[in-house]
Amino acid sequence: MKTLTRLRSYVNLKAPAPAYERRLIYVATRAHRAPPRKITKALDRRGVTLERRGYDWLLGQSVLPAATYVLTDFERLHSWYLEVLGKVHDRLTAAGLTVLNDPRGWLPRPALIRRLRAEGLSDFRCWLPAHGEMPEVFPCFLRTIASHRGTESAILRTMAEAEAALAASRSRGRPLSDLMFVEFAADQVDGAAAPPEEGHYQKDAAYMVGDRVVRALTVNETGWMAKRGTRNRGRPEDYARELAEMRDYPLTDTVRRVFDVAGLDFGRVDFGWKGGRMQVFEINTNPSIQFFPEHPSADRRKSESLMRANLADAFAALVPAPSDTSDTSEVEIRDLVPGKAWDGVTLNQP
């Protein structure tokens, strides 16, 4: 485990910063750098260079090159990172650079759920065992808060099941501070409100990229935890709706409101539906962007192509033309990153 002080001497190259170009730097934890190569190639065709960088690189520099920055992966970062990154955010924006996502405004999952419910943008509740809270309604489930580890239990229908799930999770080593109960809030595609373990469920999603909203592909799943999708589970009418909304997305204004509450400029909001109302599950600040060019549905293939183009256009719009940039070629940050305060904090987050 290296301290930040040692790391700076290792990664901070002495070569002069390159001249300004249409440069987009996407910063995430080392093991979770996105977006995929297809977006990189699409941006190349639009005259924008996309660089994937880790926080070990960003915070190991004495100076940062002039570019557009997208800060991500807040769910996997220690609070010390968020504090220092907030200062870096301000230094870059003061130099006239565009930076998406101020980490100081980001809301962890429980806070986001509660704020969206208070704003009338979602209906379900959550409870934090670390605060002495247990579920007040059922069904619900237990999950971790950070790092996208997913659910810790099946659907829970009684307090006895909730208590057993919490005990089992803690016996597996999960810290109490990273556990939360979440009210189950999703109807099946056929409208059934009861939550059986199997059935056709959907997860909708949308990306926010600066001031642009891009409809994401819908996940069709056999099972209540819609995450990666079940092959051939979607119906023709599902893919037809998806394609129509790629061209004219009716939820654009609602998605903007959700991101305003969350204090974010970039990410992907995942949501389902209960009783005809949108239920926001989470906002992923470092979302996976998946493509399915070999999908058997022609409508899904068209949707995939449109989503890819829309995302590339949105990313490209963040980066000004060279003639529109300031004279800044690099921004000094050496005074923003403390030394001893970071001792023992690894920069290679899981």
3-state secondary structure of 84: helix
In the chain, % helix, strand, coil (3-state, to 5) comes to 35, 20, 45
What pLDDT is recorded for position 288? 84
Percent of the chain with pLDDT over 90: 68
Tens of pLDDT, residue by residue over 15-60, are 444 444 799 999 999 888 777 778 999 999 999 999 999 999 999 9
Lowest pLDDT segment from 70-79, 125-134, 238-247, 330-339: 330-339
> Taking the domains of the chain in order of start, what are their residue ranges?
4-98+320-342, 104-122+198-318, 125-184
| Identity of residue 27 | V
Distance CA 197, CA 194 (A): 10
125-184 fold = Dna Ligase; domain 1 (3.30.1490)
The CA–CA distances, whole Å, from 289 to 56, 90, 182, 188, 304 equal 23, 28, 25, 25, 10
Q: What is the pTM of this model?
A: 0.88
Strand order in the sheet with 68-71: 49-54, 23-28, 68-71, 99-100
Q: What is the pLDDT of residue 252?
A: 98
Banded pLDDT at 227 (limits 50, 70, 90): low
- The pLDDT value recorded for residue 3 is 41
**What per-residue confidence (pLDDT) applies to 307?**
95
The pLDDT of residue 321? 84
Q: Where are the beta strands (DSSP E) in the chain?
A: 23-28, 49-54, 63-65, 68-71, 99-100, 126-127, 140-144, 179-183, 200-209, 212-215, 219-222, 266-274, 277-284, 330-332
Q: How confident is the model at residue 10 (pLDDT cuts 50, 70, 90)?
A: very low
Predicted pLDDT at 337:
83
Topology given in CATH for the domain delimited by 104-122+198-318:
D-amino Acid Aminotransferase; Chain A, domain 1 (3.30.470)
Position 124 scores a pLDDT of: 97
Is the predicted pLDDT of residue 6 greater than 50, yes or no?
A: no
Is residue 217 within 8 A of residue 303, CB to CB? The reply is yes
Residue 146 — very low, low, confident or very high, per pLDDT cuts 50/70/90?
confident
| pLDDT greater than 80 at residue 12 | no
Look up residue 272 and give its DSSP letter: E
Can you give the pLDDT at residue 9? Answer: 38
Please tell me the predicted confidence (pLDDT) of residue 294.
80
What confidence tens digit (pLDDT) does each residue in 187-209 have? 988 766 666 667 788 899 999 99
70 forms beta bridges with: 26, 100
CA dihedral 310, 311, 312, 317 (to 10 degrees): 90
Output the pLDDT for position 4.
Answer: 43
The residue type of 47 is: G
pLDDT digits (tens, 9 = 90+) for 296-334: 899 999 999 999 999 999 999 999 987 655 567 899 999
Binning pLDDT at 50, 70 and 90, where does residue 344 land?
A: very low
**So what's the pLDDT on residue 224?**
73
What average pLDDT does this structure show over 222-251? 84
State residue 156's pLDDT score: 96
254-294 tens-digit pLDDT = 999 999 999 999 999 999 999 999 999 999 999 988 776 78
pLDDT at 215: 98
Q: Is the peptide bond before 296 cis (omega within 30 degrees of 0)?
A: no
How high is the mean pLDDT of the chain?
87
